[in-house]
Amino acid sequence: MRKVLIPTDFSDNSLNAIRYALELFKYERSDFFIIHAYADNVYESETFSDREAFTVIKEKVKAQTEDELKKIIKKIKKWSPNPKHKYTTFSLFGTLIDEANEVVDSENIDVLVMGTKGETNDRNITFGSNTLQVMKYVKCPVLAVPVGCKPYPPNHVLFPTDFLLPFKKRELKLVSTIARSFVADINFLHVMNFDNLSFRQEDHKALLESCMGKNKVLFHKIKGSSLTSAIDAFIEKHQIDLLVMVNSRHSFLEDYLYQSTIDKIGLHIKIPFLVLQNLSR
C-alpha cells in the first residue's frame, strides 16, 4: 500500500501536483492524505484584540479550509475515479513543515508530493508553499512538481550520485517501483574526478544495482564537470522527465554560507524533482 502526503494551498499549482500524483500512482493501491496547514492564514488575517477574537477567527479559517478540502476530493473523484485509491483530508493548525512531519510519522508516509512555482527574481517566492524548505527538512522523500508540468508518466529518470552517500532501501524501492510502473529507464550519473571508485563507492553502487535489478538501468560517467551543469546538459540531451537526488545534511554554517546543489537545481528545474531524504524515522 503506497502512502502519499499532499499539502495544498488550494492554488491551481497545488491542484496540478495532485493530478500528477494520481497519474504517477494510478497502478498502485494508494492512500492519499491531503492536508492544509492554516496557522499562517490565521496569524496574517488581522490584528486581534483578545484571545476570544483570535479563537473565533481560528475556527472560521478551519471551517473554510475544511470546505475547500471537500471540494478537492470531489474534483479528484471526477478526474480519477480509481478504485485503488483512498483519500483522507486534514485541516491542521500549525506550520507546514511541522504538520507534514507529524503526518509522515503517524501515517508512515512513503512520499510527499507538492507543487512549485517557476523561477522568479525573488528567491523567497521561487517555490510555492515553502517547497524548498519541505524538500530540505521533511523526513520522507519529497516530489516537487513544477507549475505547468503535465500529469504524464515518466519515461526517462535521471539519478545523479557520487556513490558516497548511503541509500535507504525503502527509498530506492520507491524509485524502482515508479520506474517499473511505466517501463522507464533509470540513468545513474556520476560526475567524477578520479578513474576508480573507492570501496565505499563500490559497495553503494552494488546496493543500487541490487535494488534496481528489475529495472532498465544505465550508468554514466562524466569527468571534470560541475554537477549542476552536467545535470542540466543530461536532462536536455536525454529528454529526462523525472530527476531524483539524495538530500545531504550540512552544518548550519555550510547552509548559511553556501547554496546547496538541491537549491541550485531546484531553483530552475522544469521537470518533477524527487528528493530522497535518507533519514531515520
Give the pLDDT confidence of 56-95 residue by residue, as tens digits: 888 888 999 999 999 999 999 999 999 999 999 999 999 9
Q: Looking at per-residue confidence, does 226 or 272 come out higher?
A: 272
Q: Looking at per-residue confidence, does 102 or 135 come out higher?
A: 102
Minimum mean pLDDT range among 40-54, 81-95, 130-144, 196-210: 40-54
For the domain bounded by 2-146, which CATH number is listed? 3.40.50.620
Region 14-33 average pLDDT: 96
Q: For residue 47, name the pLDDT band (cuts at 50, 70, 90).
A: low
- The Cα–Cα gap between 80 and 151 comes to 12
- Contact present, 275 and 239 (Cβ < 8 Å): no
Question: How many CB atoms within 10 Å of residue 51?
Answer: 8
- In the chain the first and final C-alpha atoms are separated, in Å, by 18
- Contact present, 267 and 119 (Cβ < 8 Å): yes
> Residue 78 contacts by C-beta under 8 Å, 6 or more apart in sequence?
none
**pLDDT exceeds 90 at position 49:** no
Mean pLDDT of the chain: 86
Q: What is the pLDDT of residue 208?
A: 93
- Contact present, 22 and 118 (Cβ < 8 Å): no
Which CATH number does the domain 156-266 belong to among 3.40.50.620, 3.60.15.10, 3.40.50.10470, 3.90.1640.30?
A: 3.40.50.620
Q: For residue 249, name the pLDDT band (cuts at 50, 70, 90).
A: low
In this chain, the answer to whether the domains covering 2-146 and 156-266 adopt an identical fold is yes
Minimum mean pLDDT range among 57-66, 67-76, 163-172, 226-235: 226-235
Region 191-204 average pLDDT: 87
Q: What is the pLDDT of residue 261?
A: 60
| Percent above pLDDT 70 for the chain | 84
Q: What is the pLDDT of residue 128?
A: 47
Q: For residue 264, name the pLDDT band (cuts at 50, 70, 90).
A: low
- The Cα–Cα gap between 242 and 140 comes to 18
> Residue 224 contacts by C-beta under 8 Å, 6 or more apart in sequence?
193
Q: What is the pLDDT of residue 125?
A: 44
Give me the phi and psi of 127, to 5 degrees please: -110, 125
The residues spanned by each domain of the chain are 2-146, 156-266
